[in-house]
């Protein structure tokens, strides 16, 4: 065979052999479990509220025992409401995982509640809702010759951040403070772990059938068991009417959190009993 032809044949063989070697070196680590993904610490990865942003930080450990760097690894999350409307998109910066190394990738999912419309935000805070999130992982391997993407979705039930608000009219009582009469109305609520140590604003409104109206605001520290008492000032006439025990009273507690509100209202008479 003539030399140029031999050289071309050798070239063809070399390219084909190189591809065969590349394929083998690419597939082998996958078959042998050489590329692994896991959470660095199982306890990490809790949702937390940071200002108005719900955030999940979960450092992923990616081990690459293969022969090539994993390049351009991108992880993205898309949150959707139950109707499929996109609520938030979270994407991390591309990361390279060098061959033979284990690399921690800070995965951060951030959902700024102010990016949502008020109704959706209110549902998230006070009612709980069903949400869907799509996960997208993309990476390249073997000198960028092979690309892989994994797209999956899942539904997740979202518990209310502040829920189960109850006006405990059965525990209400009258109290005199500095010569002023007040009616003390307790209320309880549940606060999700995510918002604990934060504060919400409570507006307690009181009115009777004769047109007396009073309100009081207070900051509520969000903790494990929230039991708050709203002390609403009464005028002497209103107080007298309460004392007769025949007056129909209405108390509404409105909770404000991140520009959203939710209220609980109850109407009762003297049968709730005097205390104090």
Partner 1 sequence: MSGGEFSWKNASAGRGALSAVKGALKYLVVPLVLVTLGIAVVTNEDGPQAIADILGEMRSIVLVLGAVLTVLSFFHGAYPKGTYSRLTFGLAISVLVIVYAYLLLLNGRTQEVIGRELFEVDLWLIFTLYFFTAIFGVLMPLGEFMDRRPLWLNGTGATGTEGTEAPEAHRPYHDFRLRYGSLYNGLRLARNTLTWSVVLPLIVIILLEAGLTSLEVEELDPLLSSLEDVAAVVVLLGLPMTALAFFKGFYPRGSVSRFIPAEAMVLIGLYWIWVIGLEGKLLMEVEEIDISLDYSGLLMLIMLGSGLWLVYYALEFFLYRKEWKEGGFKKDLEKKSGKKKTLERPAEPLDKAPQP
Task: Considering the complex, state which of residue 33 and residue 179 has its C-beta at the smaller distance from partner 1.
Answer: 33
Q: Where in the chain does DSSP place strands (E)?
A: 35-39, 47-50, 53-64, 70-80, 86-91, 95-97, 101-112, 129-141, 146-158, 162-167, 173-177, 180-191, 199-208, 213-221, 226-234, 249-257, 260-268
Question: Does 146 interact with partner 1 (rule: CB under 8 A)?
Answer: yes
Site for partner 1 in 150-169 (CB under 8 A): 150-153
Closest approach, Cβ 7 to partner 1, in A, equals 9
Tally of CB atoms within 10 A around 159: 13
Question: Does 148 interact with partner 1 (rule: CB under 8 A)?
Answer: yes
Question: Does 276 interact with partner 1 (rule: CB under 8 A)?
Answer: no
- List the structure tokens of 84: 């499929």
Question: Does 28 interact with partner 1 (rule: CB under 8 A)?
Answer: no
DSSP code per residue over 144-191: TTEEEEEEEEEEEEE--SEEEEEE-GGG-EEEEETTEEEEEEEEEEEE
List alpha helices for 43-180, DSSP H: 118-122
Task: Considering the complex, state which of residue 155 and residue 237 has its C-beta at the smaller distance from partner 1.
Answer: 155
Task: Considering the complex, state which of residue 12 and residue 156 has its C-beta at the smaller distance from partner 1.
Answer: 12
- List the structure tokens of 168: 């405990």
Out of 64, 122, 142, 266, point to the residue binding partner 1 (CB under 8 A).
142
Closest approach, Cβ 71 to partner 1, in A, equals 12
Task: Considering the complex, state which of residue 4 and residue 211 has its C-beta at the smaller distance from partner 1.
Answer: 4
The DSSP bridge partners found for residue 227 are: 188
Q: Which stretch binds partner 1 (CB under 8 A): 50-58, 105-113, 144-152, 229-237?
A: 144-152
Residue ranges that bind partner 1, judged by CB under 8 A? 1-2, 4-5, 8-9, 11-12, 15-16, 18-19, 22-23, 26, 142, 144-153
């Amino acid at each position: 065979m003539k030399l140029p032809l031999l050289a071309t044949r050798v070239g063809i063989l070399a390219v084909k052999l190189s591809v065969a070697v590349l394929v083998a070196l690419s597939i082998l680590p996958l078959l042998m479990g050489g590329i692994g993904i896991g959470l660095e610490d199982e306890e990490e990865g809790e949702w937390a509220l940071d200002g108005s942003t719900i955030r999940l930080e979960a450092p992923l450990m990616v081990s690459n025992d293969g022969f090539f760097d994993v390049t351009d690894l991108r992880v993205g999350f898309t949150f959707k409401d139950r109707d499929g409307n996109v609520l938030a998109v979270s994407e991390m910066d591309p990361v390279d995982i060098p061959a033979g190394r284990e690399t921690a990738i800070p995965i951060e999912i951030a959902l700024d509640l102010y990016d949502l419309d008020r109704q959706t935000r209110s549902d998230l805070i006070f009612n709980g809702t069903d949400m869907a999130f799509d996960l997208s992982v993309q990476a390249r391997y073997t000198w960028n010759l092979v690309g892989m993407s994994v797209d999956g979705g899942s539904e997740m039930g979202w518990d209310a951040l502040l829920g189960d608000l109850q006006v405990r009219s059965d525990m209400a009582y009258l109290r005199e403070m500095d010569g002023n009469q007040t009616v003390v109305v307790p209320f309880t609520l549940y606060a999700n772990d995510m918002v604990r140590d934060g504060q919400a604003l409570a507006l307690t409104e009181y009115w009777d059938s004769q047109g007396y109206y009073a309100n009081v605001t207070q900051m509520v520290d969000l903790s494990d068991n929230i039991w708050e008492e709203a002390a609403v000032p009464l005028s002497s006439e209103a107080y007298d009417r309460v004392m007769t025990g025949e007056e129909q009273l209405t108390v509404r507690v409105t909770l404000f959190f991140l520009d959203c509100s939710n209220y609980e209202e109850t109407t009762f008479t003297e049968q709730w009993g005097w205390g104090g």
